[in-house]
Amino acid sequence: MTTAASPEVVWKLLVDATSWPLWSKVDSLDTTRSVGLDPGGDDDVGAIRAFRTGRRVTGERLTEKVEQRLLAYEDAFNASIHNYHARIELEPTSDSGTVIHWYGEYETSWLLRWVMPRYLQKFMQDMAEGLASYAEECKLAQ
């Protein structure tokens, strides 16, 4: 996914868990179940970000952070999947935009093995598209 927004704009949205409901498929950030969030919106490695989507709350622990390049996380709590590891890689383009690569690996029960790969691939694609689109809106507002 490519956006006209700079890596700096995209990065600020990624590291600030409070912004995710503005551009992603999550409904809200559950601050009561989140741990170590930065009040200034620059969550660091070890922070657990709990996101509510419908009635389900999933927790993601930040595991790696390279300024304006990489944000990685793993599941801290998730009823449907386990051993989940995801990476969001940002690559600057020659025209000051950003390529967003969002992907992950996980394990799930044998019941969900047929549904989950397609669902998660679409979910991550929608997240990247939402991030790209919202980052462009933020760029225009600057």
pTM of the model: 0.88
The whole domain housing 52 covers 2-141
- For the stretch 14-62, pLDDT in tens is 999 999 999 998 999 999 999 999 999 999 999 999 999 999 999 999 9
Q: How many domains are contained in the chain?
A: 1
Q: What is the CATH number of the domain that holds 102?
A: 3.30.530.20
Q: Measured between alpha carbons, how far is 88 from 48 in angstroms, rounded to an integer?
A: 16
**Mean pLDDT, the chain, as a whole number?**
90
Range from 18-27, 74-83, 105-114 carrying the lowest mean pLDDT: 105-114
